[in-house]
Amino acid sequence: MSKNVGINQPKINVGSQPSLAPSTGEAFSTRYRWIVLALLVAIYSFNWLDRFIFIILMETIKEDLNLSNTQLGLLSGFVFSAVYSLMGLPIARLADRSNRRNIIVIGLTFWSVMTVFCGFAQSFVQLAVARFGVGIGESSCSPSAYALISDFFSQRQRATAFAIYGLGIYFGISGGLMLGGWINEAYGWRTAFLVAGIPGILLALIFWLVVEEPKRGQSDGKLAADDQPLSTAELFTYLRTRKVFAASAIGIGFFMFTGNAIETWAPTFLIRVYGMSSGEVGSVLGTLSAFGGISGLLVTGLVADRLSKRDLRWYLWIPTICGGMMIPSIALFLILPGDSKFVFYLVAVFFGAGYLAPIIAITQRIVPVRMRAMSSAIILLSLNFIGIGSGTLFAGFMTDVLTPVYGQEALRYALLLNLSGSVVGIGFMLYSASRLDKELSN
């Protein structure tokens, strides 16, 4: 059975290959495509830097504002992710209908301003409101970016292009941990938020001046500009009948339940249990996150594009392997004493970086052009609600529950419990892979 048969999709008018250029109307050059991708990577880096600047500052903020571990879990996960997830759907719907470049510019400006406001918070409520604002702004980024990338790069390049875009995660995590750790020690946590937020406003202006909105479907040899967008009912009916999409979206949500919890709480774990300073933790974990995440993204993206030529199910098998390998590597990081634990943190980050790009690549391939931003938003809804929101909150809540028994060690055991998410994710991903041939042949 051929693995490259297209699935039934809502009817889309097909036109000739569109011809575009920044100012001439000719096709975008290869150089221009990579410039756009580089700018999207930069924006995505600030997306994650503005999240992880908070992560390295959590222990200091906890002491200054007298917060509980559960409140930290809410601020680092659920408060941010709930609004990110819910706002992502209508914003993605708008992105499937209107100018995606402008949506990214407005979103970047807004979340940068709200990051600055985090530095002025005087209470849990004020900080929560500012985090809500960051979440609203950041929800505009990836659905629009994924759809743009799909119009700049061909099907066979997309896993690689999405992997390169995903480098922004680890540039941002590394920058947030390092920048936040050292600024916190030298100038305090409030200054760290100011330094993190202000440059994003300038980047938004650059993106608006440089990038032109491409026509939808141009890299697939079909034109969606004249198509009527699907109604909301048609869109959700279509997605509901695609079990591959639903199962894979839920599966990576559970992978994120495990992976993001360790990324979020590892700095606090090392500060509490091993007595490291925020500057030391930021340098060590920032370096490991950058090296492990970047290498993991590039390797898995390239391998997925290569192996998918034989069988498209590799786009689902590779995330399954990555999710499974996170379990022993995270467990050993949490259990082993001495510096050897950092080797396994590196391994965990490597595999934790590998499941998103292949899933986005197969999704962008099988859904209609007019559903690309929305399908990405639904995946991000799972990643943020199941993963970032629930995973970090669960870890914080279980830490408070276990503290009377285990004291400072409670966080270690709470994070070990979070490994259950990867086990559930593997089941969903294997089911998705088992259904792919059937749905592609229908």
Q: For 433, how many CA atoms within 13 A lie in the half-sphere containing its CB?
A: 21
Pick from 239-243, 260-264, 302-306: least confident: 239-243
Does residue 12 surpass a pLDDT of 80?
A: no
* pLDDT tens for each residue of 328-372: 999 999 999 888 999 999 999 999 988 888 887 788 777 776 676
For helices 141-152 and 100-118, give the axis angle rounded to 10 degrees: 150
Higher-confidence position of 234 and 303: 303
Q: Which amino acid is at 262?
A: I
* pLDDT tens for each residue of 128-148: 899 889 988 988 888 889 888
Q: Mean pLDDT, to the nearest integer, of 286-311? A: 86
CB atoms within 10 A of CB 442: 10
Confidence at 232, pLDDT banded by 50, 70, 90: low
The CATH H-level (homologous superfamily) assignment of domain 30-211+234-441 is MFS general substrate transporter like domains (1.20.1250.20)
Angle CA 356–139–169, to nearest 5? 40
* pLDDT tens for each residue of 252-271: 999 999 998 898 889 889 98
Helix or strand (DSSP H, E) at 298: helix 278-307
Mean pLDDT of the chain: 83
pLDDT at 222: 52
373 and 90 in contact (C-beta within 8 Å)? no
pLDDT at 356: 80
Q: What percent of the chain has pLDDT over 70?
A: 87
Using CA atoms, how far apart are residues 40 and 383, in angstroms rounded to an integer? 20
Read off the DSSP letter of residue 407: G
Does residue 2 surpass a pLDDT of 60?
A: no
Higher-confidence position of 160 and 299: 299
pLDDT at 320: 94
19 and 26 in contact (C-beta within 8 Å)? yes
* 409, two tokens: 């060690």
Residues 6+ apart with CB under 8 A from 333: 262, 266, 341, 342, 344, 345, 348
Angle CA 423–390–418, to nearest 5? 35
Does residue 8 surpass a pLDDT of 60?
A: no
Confidence at 17, pLDDT banded by 50, 70, 90: very low
Read off the DSSP letter of residue 29: P
Q: Which candidate, 322, 392, 388, 311, places its Cα nearest to that of 357?
A: 322
Pick from 212-226, 373-387, 404-418, 422-436: least confident: 212-226
User: pTM for this structure?
Assistant: 0.69
pLDDT at 37: 94
* 127, two tokens: 């900080």
Strand blocks (E) in 253-337 = none
pLDDT at 241: 75
Does residue 6 surpass a pLDDT of 60?
A: no
Confidence at 26, pLDDT banded by 50, 70, 90: very low
* pLDDT tens for each residue of 44-73: 999 989 888 888 898 899 889 998 888 887
Residue 188 Ramachandran class (φ > 0 left, ψ -120 to 50 alpha, else beta):
left
Spans of all domains in the chain: 30-211+234-441
* 195, two tokens: 């330094």
